[in-house]
Chains A and B, each alone.
Chain A
């Protein structure tokens, strides 16, 4: 099945630093969502950006979307140890936005 790709696969930073994760996808989308997952548990929705939006902010999160390059980035500013988790992007395709297509995730470790 089609999947997005996140990079890097793993990222290790110090508390207080910024973390940037990228996501690329293959098809035309209706929206793109970012989720966080702690230790193989359920996913927590972070932010949704629609295909006609270019940038969105939520607290310490900033998401950008470039539909011409079929890519998105998630920036976490002033990271905390509690941000340690895996981060996934998921796309709702233009043809069927109910069937999310997921990337394989970026594993983020924030060291105190």
Chain B
């Protein structure tokens, strides 16, 4: 079965711009979570969507937002980019409740802000 697909794989943006990242979950998975990974802070939870609703939110500023569509695909948007937003952004999908198979991650989008 197809895995979690994230696009694009790499992105270079300039400070002040905005960016949209996309995530297509595994078929049947209705929960999509987003994480930011940086060398200094490690993996940090951004938000989780389930059935088009944001169900959980991490401690990130309002510049970070997301949404989920009826087919469970999700997008996250970062506005007014800052240098510190440079990171690997990972999307993970799962069934509603954590099961033995855990979460399935995409390969990530590497965002560089210059």
Is A99 a contact of B45 with CB atoms below 8 Å?
yes
Chain B residue total in the interface (Cβ 8 A): 29
Which DSSP category, helix, strand, loop or mixed, fits chain B's interface?
A: strand
Partner of A96 from B56, B59, B90, B108 at Cβ < 8 Å: B56
Docked Cα-Cα span, A47 to B100, in Å, equals 7
Is B48 a contact of A98 with CB atoms below 8 Å?
yes
Is B42 a contact of A98 with CB atoms below 8 Å?
no
Docked Cα-Cα span, A42 to B33, in Å, equals 13
Is A104 a contact of B102 with CB atoms below 8 Å?
no
Interface of B toward A, CB cutoff 8 Å: 4, 31, 33, 35, 37, 42-45, 48, 55-56, 58-59, 88, 90, 92, 98-108, 110
Interface of A toward B, CB cutoff 8 Å: 1, 3, 30-31, 33, 35, 40-45, 47-48, 88, 90, 92, 96-105
> Can you give 17 A-B contacts (C-beta < 8 A)?
A3-B42, A35-B105, A40-B88, A40-B110, A42-B4, A42-B90, A43-B92, A43-B103, A45-B101, A45-B104, A48-B98, A97-B98, A98-B33, A100-B33, A100-B103, A101-B45, A102-B43
